[in-house]
Amino acid sequence: MIGQLLISLTRLTPARVLVVFVTAGVVLTGVGIYEPVVKLGGAGATVPLTGFGYALARGALKGAGEEGILGALTGGIKATAAGVSAAIVFGYLTALVFRPKTKK
């Protein structure tokens, strides 16, 4: 609903709205607000785009604690690598099964 309101009431494109959601997940994780939401909502809070931002921020914070500044830069990538890889593999398999066509 929030995404539709942002698209309808502002001049933001859908791609920018997606970036807003990921960034909101990172910011809310950074200030400690998103962790209680995840504990309350479970997968309902970790699956959407804000959950991707949460995973990036949590990985960066963990990496920074373990490896310093280099860990902060690589931690988010390590934390989200499995999910991104799965999305690519399943998207490819779906494309093989359903033979996508371009819109005319």
Residue 92 domain-assigned (yes or no): yes
Residue 103 domain-assigned (yes or no): no
The count of other CB atoms within 10 Å of the CB of residue 76 is 22
Q: Taking the model in full, what pTM does it have?
A: 0.77
**Structural domain span for residue 37:** 2-98
User: For the chain, what is the domain count?
Assistant: 1
Angle, alpha carbons 39-43-46 (nearest 5°): 80
Q: Which amino acid is at 25?
A: G
Residue 104 domain-assigned (yes or no): no
- What pLDDT was estimated at residue 67? 93
Q: If pLDDT is split at 50, 70 and 90, which confidence band does 12 have?
A: very high
The yes-or-no verdict on residue 101 having pLDDT over 80 is no
What distance, in Å, lies between the first and last C-alpha atoms of the chain? 29
Residue 15 domain-assigned (yes or no): yes
Quickly list H helices, the chain: 2-9, 14-30, 34-41, 43-46, 49-67, 69-98
pLDDT tens readout for residues 48-81:
889 999 999 999 999 999 999 999 999 999 999 9
